[in-house]
Amino acid sequence: MKKNEIVNLEITDITSDGNGIGKYDGMAVFVPETAVGDLLEVKIVKVLKNYCFGIVHKVITPSADRIESDCPHFPKCGGCSFRHISYESEAKLKEKFVYDAFTRIGKIQTDFMPILSCENPDRYRNKAQYPVGISDNGNICGFYAKRSHRIMSGYDCKLLPEIFSDIAKLIINYTNHNDIPAYDEQTKKGLLRHIFIRQGYHSEELMICFVVTKRSETQFRQLCNDLTEKYSNIKSIVMNINPDNTNVILGKKTVVLYGANCISDIMCGNTVDIAPQAFYQVNTYQAEKLYQQAAEFAQLSGNELLLDLYCGAGTIGLSMADKVNKLIGVEIIPQAVENAQKNAALNKIENAEFICADAGKAAQELAKNNTKPDVIVLDPPRKGCDTNTLDAVVSMNPKKIVMISCNPATAARDCKILTENGYIVEKVRAVDLFPRTTHVECVVLISCM
């Protein structure tokens, strides 16, 4: 196979990073924005030793899964991977991504429950982080193009509430009329880097955070007045200072410009306060289903000691606190721990304690002190649990472990380690928190043998 060659290809599967896959002459060909069943003419763009990449040259017969994309930014924008297939077929694919990860990486055969799909696959996100940049016509904001740091100018995104684009537009207009320079990644000059917006799904409270390179409250004062006058739901405007040359969006320091340093929302019946630095599931509607599934797996009776590792602002543990004797949460981000403690108090939950520490270190310390949790919830970031954490979890010998993960591959790897240490994976369920993207969450029930 040679670069620029055109070949006929049938797409037989989709990989977990969203590429269609077909075989030509025994060689795997990966083609983005395709669907299972597509018959295509594919132009080869890159040839490697065992596989190659192509792009669609012509659709000969489209797959029955295909739909017309309803977003002008697709597929150039890096936000969505699946606007060209029906949501039903996307959900089926995601169910298979989770199944494949557990059976192939984890070598685990178990009860795979049907995916909890999302009834509202559009405008589900409660958080946006618009990158701000410079164009010939002044400051712009928008979305990163696929696999790049190039900003595509645009406000409306089908994954975000419509009010976010109105707010972002107002802010960019203001900066263009008031000489607030956007940060330029190339020259490292300028002030405004990102516009961060978060809205409580149930409360509808809004937080706006200007991510800037240096403190500059006075330049933003009138803008805050304009925003709060126009949008009565704004409960918090903050300025986050990030002077570093980095891809990480938020810096260490945050100052409040208006209202509080957090907004409130309702999560599984509890009032929760969330600071900008705190992790908060972006799809509240689906996250509540996920936490309910986790609670069903945990089958709590009221007597248990529950350990919630990687607890963020405490949302999962607190949703189960009335069904346990005691809850201990562990989280590494101090602001999130403060939120968790305050959230317990707000909801008059008196049997909860939160520790600000690395999950592995805290778990080892708890194990050393002979703490014996009956149930452990593990909800690690994408890279999964480290071996310290898993070792300590095993040594505490809980009857049940409920693992929640946004990365089925690392979840499967970690579950495999648990199965090698006296545990059995009883149930796995995919939950779609991120429609139109390749991401999928899963929840796993693991019991002591």
Residues that bind ligand SAH (CB under 6 A): 279-281, 310-312, 315-316, 330-333, 336, 358-359, 379-381
Q: How far apart are CA 438 and CA 162, in angstroms?
A: 23
Q: How far apart are CA 188 and CA 77, in angstroms?
A: 24
Rounded to 10°, the helix 217-230/162-177 angle is 140
Overall residue count recorded for the chain in this entry = 449
Q: Within its chain, how far is the Cα of 11 from the centroid?
A: 28
**Nearest CA to 208 among 279, 130, 122, 123?**
130
Q: How far apart are CA 230 and CA 430, in angstroms?
A: 40
Q: 424 pairs with which residues across the strands? A: 447
What's the N-to-C CA distance of the chain in angstroms?
51
Options 77, 118, 406, 442, the catalytic residue: 406
Q: Is 406 annotated in the active site? A: yes
Q: How far apart are CA 431 and CA 281, in angstroms?
A: 13
Q: How far is the CB of 312 from ligand SAH (least distance, A)?
A: 3
Q: How far apart are CA 61 and CA 345, in angstroms?
A: 59
Of 191 and 355, the one with the shorter C-beta distance to ligand SAH is 355
What's phi and psi for 314, nearest 5 deg?
90, 5
Residue reference for tokens 């990480």: 248
Sheet of 253-259: strand order equals 151-153, 138-144, 127-135, 192-199, 206-212, 234-241, 253-259
**Nearest CA to 286 among 294, 278, 297?**
294
What's phi and psi for 55, nearest 5 deg?
-125, 155
Residue nearest to ligand SAH (CB): 312
- If one counts every other C-beta atom within 10 angstroms of the C-beta of residue 325, the result is 14
CA quadruple 385, 129, 211, 231: dihedral sign: negative
Q: How far is the CB of 349 from ligand SAH (least distance, A)?
A: 16
Token pair, residue 322, equals: 């009335």
Q: How far apart are CA 103 and CA 108, in angstroms?
A: 5
Q: How far is the CB of 358 from ligand SAH (least distance, A)?
A: 4
Of 159 and 355, the one with the shorter C-beta distance to ligand SAH is 355
Token pair, residue 220, equals: 């933003």
DSSP state string for 59-108: EEE--TTB-----TTTTTBSS-S-SSB-HHHHHHHHHHHHHHIIIIIS--
- If one counts every other C-beta atom within 10 angstroms of the C-beta of residue 377, the result is 28
Q: How far is the CB of 382 from ligand SAH (least distance, A)?
A: 9
Q: Which residues are catalytic?
A: 406
